Amino acid sequence: MKQTSILILTAAILASCSGEDRSGEVPFAPTVRTIEATASGTAVTLTGEVLASPNSRLTAQGFYYGNDTLRVEVLSPLSGEALFSETVDNLEPGDYYAHAFATNGIGTASGDTIFFSISE
């Protein structure tokens, strides 16, 4: 009887210390928006926004940019702010694409692809 009481008490204590029940929540990859690419000379400033990252913290955010022969990933520091931007310097003249991305514990999502040009 004494052992049964101890087991019941131990189970009750452990159950009360388990924290918030999040079993009904559904985790998702982040929702990301590519806002703009502003070219100036041989540089471009890329701006994106993380609209949501339900039930999972961000682990990375940034941009992919490139052209028909180039694909580059640029990481942006995780600041806790929704908006993020990065400037890329020394681009050759030509047409480029870019899109924002964000990664959380569930997966990676990308915003729409936008296009910009660097003039000679």
Mean pLDDT by 10 residues, the chain (120 residues): 64 56 74 98 98 92 96 96 97 98 96 95
Q: How many residues does the chain have?
A: 120
Distance CA 104, CA 76 (A): 14
Which pLDDT score is estimated for 18? 47
Q: Which domains does the chain have, with CATH numbers?
A: 27-118 (2.60.40.10)
Secondary structure of 88-104 in the HEC alphabet? ECCCCCEEEEEEEEEEE
**pTM, full prediction:** 0.78
Which pLDDT score is estimated for 4? 65
